[in-house]
């Protein structure tokens, strides 16, 4: 049966499958290239749901490479982000010929083409040199963060001193200023005698890409590591076997992504149809947060409301346009935070910069909300990404054609979501099914006439190829990743 399915060769069958998806999903995107022998080298794909998710949640991007997912040992790159339920969403995927700088540049450039050249604010990777160089060239303005988990593992591997990993982690996550970090770091290096340690010197040179003191205020949607990528790789391994042919691979990958999208639909239903129990004395403010935020976002904000009990005002300065509150913490009198409140435009800004980093108002802001008797969270302190309306499209006049295209596929995603709800109710009985079927057929004819009157090309094929020859199967590649079992001459003992 497998031979019959891939009678036109494996690469041709996989590309035919993607082409078939493009016929069904009119906003499906795929792109590939071939070598001199017309063998498939790299190919990238993203469906309409992934592209719509990127339009809504494109601020923070993470990507990593996983191995042993297909018969050709082609590395799989999955580009992910965080949605309004704090779940991992897939923006796009690619199978690569190697892990060189040029290949990663091709992935990122193709990704930007698929996403209307909308660039992310921040990127998280494991620190691979080829990835870093590609990001620097293709996404020069994105804030690049190195994975904290990989750094701690490297610290344990390279520095064989007891408790150094925990000491390094404290330096990495300390929330002080850059000057305070420098003081703590140099003191640590001097005390442990690391002035000549090569790894410590190298990692210090990269401190602006991993130290919290340098990164606070940069928005990463709560991501400090590539853990979401690692979790995604572990999840995909349940569907992707080691020796899958490409045709089988793309099918199994689709099954895996469909399950992830169903999890988002379930979280949407719970947020919109469940009532959370209010548990703080600030019931008016808490109730407003319930109506605005998704369930997971609300729980994070409520934790800040509870932490606000530990803080109190120790200083106050006021002028015509701004009031500045100085806060201290119970049993930590030496620690100070400053919150600026502008009553005219109702904005809050805290020196801890948690809102700028994560998008959730901090406990210090909640203290000032209490002092100012605010019954609602100011609109300036509500990040749309974490709200129930994160995927609602607010129509605005586009500035250029790119914005117009972005509006187009956000509308496409909204209609797709509405049709899913219609299908659920219409499939309940035979009569409702027939009525919906007839109405959809009539409406489809009308919409097709409108579409044809304003036709736009949307097809994407191989790199610049209008008529392509038959694409041959790729060669088996050598990767940097897990080599699997290594043959040895030693016999395993019983």
Count CB-CB contacts under 10 A for residue 305.
21
Q: Cα(487)–Cα(492) distance, rounded to whole angstroms? A: 11
Q: Cα(484)–Cα(107) distance, rounded to whole angstroms? A: 26
Give the pLDDT of residue 14.
86
Q: What would the pLDDT profile of 130-157 be if each residue is shown by its tens digit?
A: 999 999 999 999 999 999 988 999 988 8
Which CA distances in Å does 259 have to 173, 264, 266?
Answer: 34, 9, 11
In this prediction, residues 24-28 reach a mean pLDDT of 82
Q: What would the pLDDT profile of 254-297 be if each residue is shown by its tens digit?
A: 888 888 888 888 888 888 888 888 888 888 999 999 999 999 99
Q: What would the pLDDT profile of 200-209 be if each residue is shown by its tens digit?
A: 999 999 999 9
Q: 191: pLDDT confidence band, cut at 50, 70 and 90?
A: confident
Q: What would the pLDDT profile of 207-223 be if each residue is shown by its tens digit?
A: 999 999 999 889 998 88
Give the pLDDT of residue 335.
87
The answer to whether 88 touches 40, Cβ cutoff 8 Å, is: no
In the structure encoding, which two tokens stand for residue 190, read together?
């001097």
Burial (Cβ within 10 Å: 0-12, 13-18, ≥19) of residue 437: exposed
Q: Write down all domains in the chain, each with its CATH number in brackets.
A: 1-147+225-274+463-494 (3.30.420.10), 283-386 (no CATH), 403-453 (no CATH)
Sheet architecture: strand order including 76-82: 29-34, 40-46, 88-95, 76-82, 60-66, 122-125, 143-146
Torsion over CA: 262, 268, 271, 274 (sign):
negative
Percent of the chain past pLDDT 90, that is, above it, reads 36
Single out the residue of 246, 257, 256, 252 nearest to residue 41, CA to CA. 246
- Phi-psi group of 117: left, alpha or beta (phi > 0 → left; psi -120 to 50 → alpha; rest → beta): left
Give the pLDDT of residue 408.
62
Give the pLDDT of residue 404.
52
In this prediction, residues 309-327 reach a mean pLDDT of 91
Single out the residue of 105, 97, 111 nearest to residue 31, CA to CA. 111
Q: Which residue has the tokens 């006021």?
A: 318
Q: Is the pLDDT of residue 320 over 60?
A: yes
Average pLDDT along the chain:
83
In this prediction, residues 405-412 reach a mean pLDDT of 60
Q: Exposure pattern of 74-92 as b/e (b: 16+ CB <10 Å)?
A: bbbbbbbbbbbbbbbbbbb
Single out the residue of 260, 196, 251, 209 nearest to residue 232, CA to CA. 260
The answer to whether 161 touches 192, Cβ cutoff 8 Å, is: yes
- Give the bridge partners for 347, in sequence order: 342
Higher pLDDT, 342 or 274: 342
Torsion over CA: 131, 135, 136, 141 (sign):
negative
Give the pLDDT of residue 138.
93
Long-range contacts of 405-412 (CB under 8 A, 24+ apart): 405/116, 406/55, 406/116, 406/118, 409/27, 409/48, 409/51, 409/52, 409/55, 410/52, 410/55, 410/56, 412/26, 412/27, 412/48, 412/52
Q: Is the pLDDT of residue 176 over 90?
A: no
């Amino acid at each position: 049966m497998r031979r019959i399915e891939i009678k036109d060769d494996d690469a041709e069958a996989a590309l035919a499958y993607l082409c078939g998806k493009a016929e069904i999903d009119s906003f499906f995107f795929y792109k590939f290239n071939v070598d001199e022998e017309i063998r498939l080298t790299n190919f990238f794909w993203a469906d309409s749901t992934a592209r719509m998710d990127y339009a809504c949640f494109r601020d923070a991007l993470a990507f990593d490479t996983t191995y042993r997912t297909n018969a050709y040992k082609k590395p799989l790159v999955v580009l992910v982000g965080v949605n309004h339920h704090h779940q991992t969403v897939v923006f796009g995927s690619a199978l690569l010929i190697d892990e060189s700088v040029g290949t990663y540049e091709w992935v990122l450039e193709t990704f930007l083409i698929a996403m209307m050249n909308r660039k992310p604010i921040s990127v998280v990777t494991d620190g691979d040199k080829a990835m870093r160089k590609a990001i620097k060239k293709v996404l020069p303005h994105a804030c690049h963060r190195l994975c904290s988990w990989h750094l701690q593992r490297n610290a344990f591997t390279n520095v064989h001193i007891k408790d150094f990993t925990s000491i390094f982690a404290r330096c990495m996550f300390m929330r002080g200023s850059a000057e305070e970090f420098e003081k703590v770091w140099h003191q640590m290096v001097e005390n442990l005698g690391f002035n000549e340690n090569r790894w410590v010197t190298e990692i210090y040179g990269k401190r602006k890409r991993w130290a919290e003191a340098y990164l606070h205020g940069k928005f990463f949607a709560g991501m400090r590591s590539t853990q979401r990528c690692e979790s995604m790789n572990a999840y995909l391994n349940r569907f992707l076997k080691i020796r899958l042919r490409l045709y089988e691979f793309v099918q199994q990958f689709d099954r895996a992504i469909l399950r992830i999208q169903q999890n988002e639909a379930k979280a949407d239903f719970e947020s919109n149809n469940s009532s959370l129990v209010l548990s703080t004395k600030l019931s008016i403010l808490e109730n407003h947060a319930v109506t605005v935020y998704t369930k997971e976002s609300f729980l994070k904000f409520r934790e800040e409301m509870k932490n606000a009990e530990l803080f109190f005002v120790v200083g106050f300065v006021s002028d015509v346009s701004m009031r500045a509150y100085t806060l201290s913490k119970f049993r930590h009198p030496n620690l100070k935070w400053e919150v600026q409140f502008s009553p005219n435009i109702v904005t809050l800004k805290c020196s801890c910069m948690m809102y700028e980093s994560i998008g959730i108002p901090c406990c210090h802001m909640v203290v000032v909300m209490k002092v100012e008797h605010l019954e609602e969270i100011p609109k300036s302190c509500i990040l749309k990404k974490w709200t129930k309306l994160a995927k609602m499209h607010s129509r605005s006049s586009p500035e250029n054609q790119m914005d117009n295209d972005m509006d187009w596929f956000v509308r496409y995603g909204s209609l797709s979501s509405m049709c899913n709800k219609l299908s659920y109710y219409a499939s309940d009985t035979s009569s409702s099914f027939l009525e919906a079927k007839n109405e959809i057929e009539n409406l489809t004819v009308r919409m097709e006439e409108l579409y044809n009157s304003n036709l736009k090309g949307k097809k994407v094929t191989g790199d610049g190829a209008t008529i392509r020859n038959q694409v041959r199967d790729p060669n088996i590649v050598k990767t940097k990743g897990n080599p699997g079992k290594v043959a040895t001459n030693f016999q395993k003992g019983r």
